[in-house]
A and B are shown apart, each in its own frame.
Chain A
Amino acid sequence: MDQRIVMVDSGTGLKLTEEQLDERSAVAAVRLRHKGVRAGDTVLICLPVGPDLLVATHAVIAADGVAWPLPVDLDQATLRDRIQESAARVMISNVQRALDAAEESRVRIVMSVAELSGASPSCPTGR
């Protein structure tokens, strides 16, 4: 496979190749399915702009879900409203403010970036 670069993280300068994007999003899509994401389900994604966000978005789409990105710098009340509005069952985020805002929502499962890249379905690589 060609080593085409598809994204550069503006903060760290790290490059994401097309192969990495395909591979990581495929793995993440399977992880989402194992957490119960079904065709047509909305999945919230609240991650800083960068490779993880790109991978998560691709993964949600590959898992047949509907990606619902949330900017990380929204104020708490707006975050809360958007989360309520989405009626999503699953949220992908490592951002504490988003996790707090998801309290009292309909989000059942919060997945971290680490959990998305876990190798085996029964042993999440959470820290």
Chain B
Amino acid sequence: MPETPRHNLPAEPNRFVGRERDLDDLHDLVGDTRVVTLCGVGGIGKTRLALRVAARLVPAYPDGVWLVELARFGRAELVEQEIARVLGVREEAGRPLLGTVTARLREQRCLLLLDNCEHLVHRCAEVVAALVAGCPSLRVLATSREPLRIASELIWRVPPLDLPDEGAADAESVQLFMDRATAAGTRLDGASLADVVRLCRALDGLPLAIELAAARTSLLSPGQIADRIDDRFSLLTTGGRTAPARQRTLLGAVEWSYDLLAAKEQVLLRRLSVFAGDFDLLLAEQVCAERPIAANEIVELLGGLVDKSLVLCDEGRRRYRLLETIKRYALERLRQAGEREVLRERHLHVLCALQERHFATEVVEPGVPWPRRFEALIASRELIDDQRVALEWAAESGDVLLGLRLCQTSTGLLPLGGNLREIVGWIERLLSLDTTGVPAEQIAHAMAYLAYGLEAKDELSRSLETARRSLAEMAPDDDFPRCVMHNLVVVVLLRMGRAEEAAHHAEEGLTVATRSGDRWNQAASLAGLSAVALVRGRLREAQRHGEEALARAGEHGHRWLMARTAVQLGAVAEARGDLAAARTRYETAVPWLSELGSDLELSRCLARTGRVAAMLHEFGSARERLAAGTDIARATGQRQAVARCLVGLSVLAECEGDLEGAVLAAAAAAGLRESIGQHSATTRFEELLGRARTKLGDGRTTSLWSRGRAMCPDVAARRVLAGERLPPKAAKAPVTAEPVRHSVLTAREQEIAGLLTRGLSNRGIAGELVISPATVARHIANIMEKLGYTSRAQIAVWAAERSSGSG
């Protein structure tokens, strides 16, 4: 989609100072090298430099520049999960996520920026090696305290900022200090320059240390800061004498800044280390307000920490975060204060309470207008990383009860929120722990969500069994999850072809939901009844239930539910042959799904809309819908979704009279489905092949089918979308270098190239031209660089051909 930005780089929080030459060099190196790793100690400015380089490179990567922040993740398997999340790739059944990501990036020219790899360096190395091996045009820029140590890596050591010389005081480090002091509201005159120079030297040009010092200039003069820093460093023992000097300097500066904080600011800073990533004021107030800090003091304390550059915030002061280096220091302090367990516990409780509230507002409570529900959905999604951290702690500390409660309170962890598998992992992990003392009803409730996840993973019989156990053991008055289970069972049984049993559960669900006034489940049950009726061929009944379902869904307001029921009505209309009505129904769901960002369901809905539009011979809009659906499907990496769009494209091609294109697209879809072990919709294909054999003949049809099977799905899709006949294989760009114009060489260089054809050595050429051999060597290096050659012999051959050609 052209309107989506081709990067996810954050806005720069303040002015970037210095490193011009480094930026230029790195710009070229990243283009030239598969993997560049910026290495160096914490606080030296790796991330900032990488972001700056990446921002400059955005125009060079048509498929985007994508930042993947790894600092907040503790487990190795989260590396590929986070890459997938950033790219919008969804895990497929039966294929490792890394495989899907690699396939998605294979043809793409994009740059991945992996930030803070050090704590997961082994997994990062494996993932990057696999991606680079599988994706020829991919470039990776990483930041890490340790190099990845893989074959294609260029290790680039980030140095501190330039230090001032005796004479020139405009060094980068001094510029940075001045800039940040000005930002802190301090005006420094020329008289303090000598102190600033002394201070920058004492801080070894480390950007973070300089920023922390500059943030204090409103209270202390540069001279006072320099004196105190000097005293401190002479006493510094933290980090041990063996730690590298820069690390000790940095730690010293952080500690100095921390010690200058008021007591309550210190307490708050260390408590802030429990958050996964960025956080807002509300969360900070709820988690961190405990003796000696009151909740209403937090906004002021946070402001103080921002002023001292220990906490960062966005322009609107809405989201706050800690730099990784500060966070580690704060966490250590939290441990030393003996508060880590207490704070983790609190974090878990608060997350539970917040997510329960958001879930109730988004889904359960009656009469909430959609904008409020949507707000709750967004708020819940913003907490998802903290929710994961809290779940991790629940599992680690064996708090199964709270862990399970937290699992069932967030649509972000559910297939409903586009997250197909994660819920299964968490619940299975928690249930594998000691569950003594956890009420059976609680376990049954959690199993409901497990069953939900299993259905999304296509594990139908396990899902059914889990759902039945959940229903049997759930508290009788747990109406909402009880109905959710009935409705899930309906879906599972329908997928298994057991409509009779499904009808029973749909009715049961509808009864309970109607009794409790639960619009969500009323709509879901009615949609289930409609689906059952459709399977049984009772179209009028299906229509009636479907309309009622849509009405209930509309009263509830949740766009996901409304889209689901609208699509159900579309399917009913299609079944009775009313294509125009079907199209209208499908079309209404599109903006709802776009608003939710439900990419998989959106792609599916666009495929349906496009297919029906094609059958109505509205080719322009059919093409547009199918193109959009295909783009989204491709971005998710889901082969099933791409196959669905190809089926739609096959219909479009046939309706347009392009039977060959129709066969190719259908064959490509069949090939994709086979690669994921699916063999559905064979009747549709058989009918198409029947028509093709009649019109094109057996041999032609068979050969088209096998060509389509082997075809890259993208090529097959483009073939129909562009309405053009592409050659069987994508035309490859010529491998040979473009013809070299000798005019790029200077006269002297051309002269030397000519002499090389005579087999002269550098010394021989030097004698001929009366210049030094070193100068000859320099000219030859220039010639090789200009012509892209890698040996002297190549120049000689080139020069010989040129002179024989022109002579």
Q: Which residues of A contact B34 (CB under 8 A)?
A: 122
Judging by beta carbons under 8 Å apart, are A22 and B29 in contact? no
Min CB distance B795 to A, Å, is 9
Given the complex of chains A and B, what is the CA–CA distance between A70 and B766 in angstroms? 29
**In this complex, what residue of A is CB-closest to B159?**
A106
Min CB distance B20 to A, Å, is 13
Of the listed stretches A7-15, A28-36, A43-51, name the one at the interface; the rest are far from the partner chain: A28-36
Judging by beta carbons under 8 Å apart, are B760 and A108 in contact? no
Q: 1/0 per position for B784-801, CB-CB distance to A under 8 A?
A: 110000111100000000
Choose one: B25, B246, B764, B785; the contact of A36 (CB below 8 Å). Answer: B25
Judging by beta carbons under 8 Å apart, are A61 and B774 in contact? yes
Q: Given A26-B777, A26-B791, A27-B791, do A18 and B763 touch, yes or no (CB 8 Å)?
A: yes
Judging by beta carbons under 8 Å apart, are A121 and B154 in contact? no
Judging by beta carbons under 8 Å apart, are B159 and A4 in contact? no
Given the complex of chains A and B, what is the CA–CA distance between A58 and B792 in angstroms? 15
Q: 1/0 per position for B537-560, CB-CB distance to A under 8 A?
A: 000000000000000000000000
Given the complex of chains A and B, what is the CA–CA distance between A61 and B778 in angstroms? 7
Q: Which residues of B contact A2 (CB under 8 A)?
A: 761, 764
**B155 interfacial by beta-carbon distance below 8 Å:** yes
**B807 interfacial by beta-carbon distance below 8 Å:** no
Judging by beta carbons under 8 Å apart, are A108 and B157 in contact? yes
**In this complex, what residue of A is CB-closest to B153?**
A126
Choose one: A61, A89, A104, A123; the contact of B777 (CB below 8 Å). Answer: A61
Judging by beta carbons under 8 Å apart, are B777 and A22 in contact? yes
**In this complex, what residue of A is CB-closest to B783?**
A26
Min CB distance A89 to B, Å, is 8
Min CB distance A33 to B, Å, is 5
Judging by beta carbons under 8 Å apart, are A121 and B32 in contact? yes
Q: Which residues of B contact A4 (CB under 8 A)?
A: 761
Interface size on B, residues (CB 8 A): 36
Judging by beta carbons under 8 Å apart, are A36 and B29 in contact? yes
**In this complex, what residue of A is CB-closest to B38?**
A108
Q: Given A62-B780, A109-B156, do A23 and B791 touch, yes or no (CB 8 Å)?
A: yes
Judging by beta carbons under 8 Å apart, are A122 and B25 in contact? no
Choose one: B151, B244, B781, B792; the contact of A103 (CB below 8 Å). Answer: B244
Q: Which residues of A contact B703 (CB under 8 A)?
A: none
Judging by beta carbons under 8 Å apart, are B761 and A104 in contact? no
Contact residues, B768-782 vs A (CB, 8 A)? 774, 777-778, 780-781
Given the complex of chains A and B, what is the CA–CA distance between A105 and B761 in angstroms? 38
**B260 interfacial by beta-carbon distance below 8 Å:** no
Judging by beta carbons under 8 Å apart, are B790 and A29 in contact? no
Min CB distance A126 to B, Å, is 7
**A119 interfacial by beta-carbon distance below 8 Å:** yes
Interface size on A, residues (CB 8 A): 39
Judging by beta carbons under 8 Å apart, are A26 and B792 in contact? yes
**B597 interfacial by beta-carbon distance below 8 Å:** no
Given the complex of chains A and B, what is the CA–CA distance between A64 and B245 in angstroms? 33
**B767 interfacial by beta-carbon distance below 8 Å:** no
**In this complex, what residue of B is CB-closest to A29?**
B781
Given the complex of chains A and B, what is the CA–CA distance between A10 and B763 in angstroms? 24
**In this complex, what residue of B is CB-closest to A63?**
B781
Q: Which residues of B contact A35 (CB under 8 A)?
A: 29
Given the complex of chains A and B, what is the CA–CA distance between A33 and B786 in angstroms? 11
**B286 interfacial by beta-carbon distance below 8 Å:** no
Judging by beta carbons under 8 Å apart, are A30 and B156 in contact? no
**A73 interfacial by beta-carbon distance below 8 Å:** no
Judging by beta carbons under 8 Å apart, are B790 and A27 in contact? yes
Judging by beta carbons under 8 Å apart, are A105 and B28 in contact? no
**B759 interfacial by beta-carbon distance below 8 Å:** yes
Q: Which residues of B contact A25 (CB under 8 A)?
A: 777
Judging by beta carbons under 8 Å apart, are B774 and A62 in contact? yes
Q: Which residues of B contact A120 (CB under 8 A)?
A: 790
Q: Given A35-B29, A104-B246, do A22 and B154 touch, yes or no (CB 8 Å)?
A: no
**B746 interfacial by beta-carbon distance below 8 Å:** no
Min CB distance A63 to B, Å, is 6
Q: Which residues of A contact B156 (CB under 8 A)?
A: 108-109
Q: Which residues of A contact B107 (CB under 8 A)?
A: none
Judging by beta carbons under 8 Å apart, are B29 and A105 in contact? no
Given the complex of chains A and B, what is the CA–CA distance between A119 and B155 in angstroms? 19
Judging by beta carbons under 8 Å apart, are B159 and A105 in contact? yes
Given the complex of chains A and B, what is the CA–CA distance between A121 and B154 in angstroms? 12
Judging by beta carbons under 8 Å apart, are A33 and B793 in contact? no
Binding site for B on A (CB under 8 A): 1-2, 4, 18-19, 22-23, 25-27, 29-30, 33-36, 58-59, 61-64, 89, 102-110, 119-124, 126
**A-B contact list, 12 entries, CB within 8 Å:** A1-B761, A2-B761, A18-B761, A29-B778, A35-B29, A61-B774, A63-B778, A104-B245, A104-B246, A107-B157, A108-B25, A124-B154
The 6 closest A-B pairs by CB, nearest first: A62-B777, A29-B781, A36-B25, A106-B159, A62-B781, A1-B759
Query: Assuming A23-B791, A26-B792, A109-B157, what are 5 further A-B pairs, CB within 8 angstroms?
Result: A23-B793, A104-B246, A123-B152, A124-B152, A126-B151
